[in-house]
């Protein structure tokens, strides 16, 4: 019976969950043992006949989870049971050479790298898809003036599409970080009990290089019995950082969907219920779910950090929690990417409300441009600033438009012509470099697709 939501399939796609199921994990471990045996045979460390037989057995589909569990019930050691299951299928000649010079952590850590590697391929494609959706939205709304808010207050005019471009640029940076970090956390280890290469002696590094190359990994440069856990902590931090950007997007959508703002809303399908008690509600539940999962994703980084400080050449204080933290991190991020991409593809944007909110302050959103015009006429910045502030606060008290207040103020009116004021109070004239920024980000996304995309 499923206990955790991950067990029931509630979160994450089938393709990402399968990477961490027991059958796929066994496949990774068997491939590792096969490649180590092959490399050892080719380098003359173990008899070539034995190496070929071990590789053949590992690839034969004769090693079952059922048998491994039976052996584990006796040895109380899952990796030892795995090795014994392989040895059972080998001839007397080959048995002594199964798992030669290795330790359990060599299998576990290298298999974990393979899981992360295959997860990243899926994650990268989904990041690219999200980046493209964001870039397309940015282009779609590049000419729509909207309120730019700081401290929750109206600050100045932005292009509504700029919001999407900023998020798209973050996604591309995440792709860059993950790609650059692969050489640090997608590592292969075959160096045995305390990281010396032990019985493989001077050929140990060559075995590791060959195996790493065949598995599409990087040979670890130095290790104890285990791969240093700062490598996994970095990978989990990168994943959590992606999740935090998704949270940032979700928070903005949630805020813009508030009744008082109403500029966007998540798609509400036919028959959907927003509240069991209030029939009219349309809640941003998918964005809220992204925010909720992001908190858990960030919390898992703390556990990964704790795992870095192991005793001497290793202890087991990391082992149990990593069975949770690494799969959970990847599956939750996959779920968040699926959710946020779906939200953004179907996001409903209320142009009329965006324009209405731009007018909400009766023109005071153009104060920055009034100040700029006065500075260009030689008025000292803080003299101009104080005059504009005085007029603006008075306009609020008198429920007067900012434009009328300026036109009725002798001090400001003598510096500003009617034509200049008309231009200042035209929102479309204040999008500045927005189009260029959006164009640059769109190009960046296209380049990222060429660089990071994986074939399906």
Catalytic positions, please?
A: 151, 275
For the stretch 417-423, contacts whose Cβ atoms lie closer than 8 Å and that sit 24 or more positions apart, written own/partner, are 420/373
Q: Is 257 helix (H, G, I), strand (E, B) or coil?
A: coil
Question: If we measure between CA atoms, which residue out of 412, 410, 404 comes closest to residue 377?
Answer: 412
Token representation of residue 35: 């490649």
At residue 362's C-alpha, the angle toward residues 360 and 364, to 5°, is 100
Total Cβ atoms within 10 A of residue 399: 7
What is the H or E stretch that residue 218 is in? strand 218-219
Closest C-alpha to 235, from 108, 110, 120: 120
Contact 126, 341 (CB under 8 A): yes
Beta bridge partners of 265: 348
Q: Which residues contact 402 (CB under 8 A, 6 or more apart)?
A: 361, 362, 363, 364, 366, 367, 391, 392, 395
């Amino acid at each position: 019976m499923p206990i955790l939501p991950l067990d029931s399939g509630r979160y994450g796609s089938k393709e990402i969950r399968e990477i961490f199921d027991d059958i796929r994990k066994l496949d990774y471990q068997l491939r590792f043992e096969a490649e180590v045996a092959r490399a050892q045979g080719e380098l003359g460390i173990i008899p070539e006949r034995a190496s070929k037989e071990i590789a053949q057995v590992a690839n034969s589909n004769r090693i079952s989870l059922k048998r491994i569990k039976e052996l584990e019930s006796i040895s109380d050691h899952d990796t030892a049971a795995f090795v014994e299951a392989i040895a059972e299928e080998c001839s007397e000649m080959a048995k002594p050479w199964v798992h030669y010079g290795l330790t359990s952590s060599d299998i576990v850590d290298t298999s974990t790298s393979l899981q992360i590697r295959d997860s990243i391929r899926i994650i990268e494609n989904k990041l690219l898809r999200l980046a493209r959706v964001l870039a397309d939205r940015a282009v779609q709304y590049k000419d729509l003036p909207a309120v730019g808010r700081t401290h929750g207050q109206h600050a100045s005019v932005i292009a509504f599409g700029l919001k999407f471009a900023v998020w798209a640029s973050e996604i591309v940076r995440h792709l860059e970080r993950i790609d650059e970090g692969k050489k640090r956390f997608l590592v292969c280890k075959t160096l045995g009990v305390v990281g010396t290469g032990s019985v493989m002696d001077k050929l140990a590094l060559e075995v590791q290089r060959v195996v790493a190359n065949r598995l599409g990994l990087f040979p670890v440069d130095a290790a104890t019995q285990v791969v240093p856990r700062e490598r996994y902590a970095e990978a989990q931090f990168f994943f959590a950082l992606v999740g935090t950007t998704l949270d940032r997007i979700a928070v903005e959508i949630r805020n813009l969907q508030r009744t008082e703002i109403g500029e966007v809303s998540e798609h509400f399908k036919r028959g959907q219920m927003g509240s069991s008690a209030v029939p009219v509600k349309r809640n941003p539940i998918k964005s809220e779910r992204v925010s909720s999962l992001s908190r858990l994703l960030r919390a898992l980084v703390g556990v990964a950090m704790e795992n870095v400080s192991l005793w001497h050449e290793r202890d087991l204080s990391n082992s149990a929690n990593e069975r949770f933290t690494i799969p959970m991190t990847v599956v939750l991020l996959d779920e968040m990417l699926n959710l946020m991409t779906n939200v953004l593809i179907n996001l409903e944007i209320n142009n009329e409300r965006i324009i209405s909110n731009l007018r909400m302050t009766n023109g005071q959103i153009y104060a920055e441009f009034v100040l700029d015009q006065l500075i260009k006429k030689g008025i000292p910045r803080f003299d101009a600033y104080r005059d504009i502030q005085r007029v603006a606060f008075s306009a609020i008290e008198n429920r007067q438009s900012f434009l009328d207040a300026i036109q009725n103020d002798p001090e400001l009116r003598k510096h500003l012509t009617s034509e200049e004021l008309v231009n200042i109070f035209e929102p479309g004239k204040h999008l500045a470099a927005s189009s260029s920024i959006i164009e640059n980000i769109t190009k960046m996304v296209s380049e990222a697709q060429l660089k990071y995309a994986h074939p399906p």
